[in-house]
Amino acid sequence: MIVAPEIIREVLNSEDIEGLLKVGAPADEYESEAQMIATAIKQTSESEVTEEQLSRIVRRVWAEMFGPFSEGEIEKRSAAFRQVARKIAQRRQAQR
């Protein structure tokens, strides 16, 4: 199933993992990351799109766009990655 990048961006904005929106970044700050996550979801088979897989996708995209991160820095963000994955999964469910 396809998840619209706009939905993913809304989720990313609500979590603001890096705190960039809080300090005045524009509302489209996470647009590239939303596009990358949407593309990765689209390329994953429907049966493999679980919250755990979504969390791995978000983590991978985040490391690519904002990293490199140490293991400690990844751990610090892990709860936010899981929350983003949970919200995306909920939005996917609502689309069905």
Rounded distance between C-alpha atoms, residue 88 and residue 96, angstroms: 13
Q: What's the rounded Cα separation, in Å, for the pair 22 and 2?
A: 29
Distances (CA, A) of 42 to 25, 28, 45, 65, 86: 28, 21, 8, 19, 17
Give the pLDDT band (50/70/90) at residue 46.
confident
**Average pLDDT over the chain, rounded to whole?**
95
- Regarding pTM above 0.85, the answer is yes
The closest alpha carbon to 58, from 35, 84, 89, belongs to 84
Give the span between the Cα atoms of 78 and 52, in whole angstroms: 11
What is residue 77's predicted lDDT score, i.e. its pLDDT? 98
Residue range 51-92, pLDDT digits in tens:
999 999 999 999 999 999 999 999 999 999 999 999 999 998
